[in-house]
Amino acid sequence: MNIHEYQAKQVLKGFGAPVAEGVAITDAGEAEKAARMLPGPLYVVKSQIHAGGRGKGKFKELGPDAKGGVRLAKSIEDVVANAKEMLGHTLVTKQTGESGKQVNRLYIEDGADIARELYLSILVDRAVGKVAFVASTEGGMDIETVAAETPEKIVNLPIDPTAGVTEADASKLSDALKLDGEARADGMTLFPTLYKAFMDKDMSLLEINPLIVMTNGRLRVLDAKVSFDSNALFRHDDIKALRDETEEDAKEIEASKYDLAYIALDGDIGCMVNGAGLAMATMDIIKLYGKEPANFLDVGGGASKEKVTSAFKIITADPNVKGILVNIFGGIMRCDVIAEGVVAAVKEVGLKVPLVVRLEGTNVDQGKQILDQSGLDITSADDLDDAAQKIVKAVG
Ligand code: ADP
Ligand code: MG
């Protein structure tokens, strides 16, 4: 689950990290009051969408010369004018895709005098099986570009989970960011603080780009992108409350209600599979035969008929889906349950696209019988290869 920048900063502030004062607004009429609560004379008006690259983004409706999604304002009037121009418009950034995202909320923040922009993040480094810091002096810009062009400027520091962030670790990070004086002292407390926030709240990513050294020599978290491990949300009601469903894919929200692992993708073959590994293999084989999957969907090991029905509905509701491939290996999951779910769903929502079903395992004969006797136009397949070829051919 992702949250907005202003929410991420509130969470980090709760742990003691240095963030600027700021006020979130959803109506341009609130802009003046918000700005008056800040010290001034420099303000920043920041679009709150679940995507990065806002500063360099472009508003669709405002023409090529309009300023981006993060704007400096030198007076309260300037804050108000920018807020009016930005709210309700669609911001397109490197991360939003062409359709962009509507800006429904702004964060009016105290402007900082920046001496240096640094990059700092904490993530789960699967290669080493640890939580790791990534630090670079090249902040404020695309870290992917830095990684591609000057990888030596990025330092990766895995943390020993039993020791946490040691003095030695904090020193290494301070060196990597070339911190000295007060900024170094700030860093020595900030690094363990951020690590604690990451661990306590079950984050999967905490990215600060930029972390800045101000002209007064102090550190400040200027941007914050935080993602949480959805599987741990049950133990963080405070974090769950920060969810902004308007920023999420409607199909993914629906899927989460039924506890389905569903990710929307760009292709046109909808997939319903049990088990993440089999789902990955199914997506691979669709690609092998020249098509792209419309989604990743794992209905799980012991799915009920209702769960299968809702999964099927989510797939068919996607207008991009030109064909559906159901690929089930019945272990704990029984093939007859899957078949009943598919039949119930088709009866309820209809079937406008080709459907290929491959069943194998527990109660496979009963499952096939249910499909055969349903009178529905379903193509059955013998194995994964056969299934992929059939659905790719049917979609054309
Ligand atoms: P994004 O990464 O989505 O473009 P950022 O929050 O990183 O958004 O803002 C982009 C740039 O705007 C920063 O790199 C920084 O130079 C400037 N900026 C952002 N917030 C402030 C602030 N409070 N004071 C001064 N400059 C800021
Ligand atoms: Mg940023």
Annotated catalytic sites, by residue?
A: 119, 207
The pLDDT value given to residue 258: 84
β-strands 101-102, 22-25: how paired? unpaired
Which of 87, 110, 133 is the last residue in one of the domains? 110
The pLDDT value given to residue 187: 98
- Given a contact cutoff of 8 angstroms between Cβ atoms, the answer to whether 8 and 225 are in contact is yes
Mean pLDDT value across residues 369-383: 90
- Write out residues with Cβ below 6 Å of ligand 1: 20, 44, 46, 52-55, 70, 109, 111-112, 114, 117, 140, 209-210, 222-223
In the numeric block, which tokens belong to residue 126?
């699967």
The pLDDT value given to residue 331: 83
| Cβ burial, residue 168 (10 Å; 0-12/13-18/19+) | exposed
Q: Ligand 2 centroid vs 52 CA: distance in angstroms?
A: 6
Rounded Cα distance, 147 and 33, in Å? 41
What's the CATH number where 388 sits? 3.40.50.261
Which of 223, 225, 226 best tests ligand 1's pocket when mutated (most atoms within 8 Å of CB)? Answer: 223
Average pLDDT, the chain: 94
Name the residue range of residue 255's domain.
249-395
Q: Ligand 2 centroid vs 223 CA: distance in angstroms?
A: 5
Q: What digits encode the pLDDT tens for the residues 162-212?
A: 999 999 999 999 999 999 999 999 999 999 999 999 999 999 999 999 999
The pLDDT value given to residue 309: 85
Which of 114, 144, 145, 222 best tests ligand 1's pocket when mutated (most atoms within 8 Å of CB)? Answer: 222
Atom of ligand 1 nearest to the CA of 111: 24
Q: Specify the amino acid at residue 45.
A: V
Residues 90 and 154 in one domain: no
How many folded domains does the chain comprise? 3
Helix or strand (DSSP H, E) at 386 = helix 384-395
The pLDDT value given to residue 302: 72
Helix or strand (DSSP H, E) at 255 = helix 250-257
Q: What digits encode the pLDDT tens for the residues 276-290?
A: 999 999 999 999 999
Which of 110, 138, 161 is the last residue in one of the domains? 110
Residue 3 maps to a domain = no
The pLDDT value given to residue 306: 82
What's the CATH number where 54 sits? 3.30.1490.20
80: nearest Cα among 36, 15, 111, 112:
36
Rounded Cα distance, 309 and 155, in Å? 48
Rounded Cα distance, 2 and 21, in Å? 22
Atom of ligand 1 nearest to the CA of 20: 23
The pLDDT value given to residue 223: 97
- Given a contact cutoff of 8 angstroms between Cβ atoms, the answer to whether 76 and 134 are in contact is no
Mean pLDDT value across residues 324-344: 88
Q: What digits encode the pLDDT tens for the residues 134-151?
A: 999 999 878 889 999 999
- Given a contact cutoff of 8 angstroms between Cβ atoms, the answer to whether 19 and 214 are in contact is no
Which ligand gives the minimal distance to the CA of 138? 1
- Binding-site residues for Mg(2+), in ranges, read 209, 223
Q: What digits encode the pLDDT tens for the residues 18-76?
A: 999 999 999 999 999 999 999 989 999 999 999 999 999 999 999 889 999 999 999 99
The pLDDT value given to residue 334: 86
Which of 219, 239, 259 is the last residue in one of the domains? 239
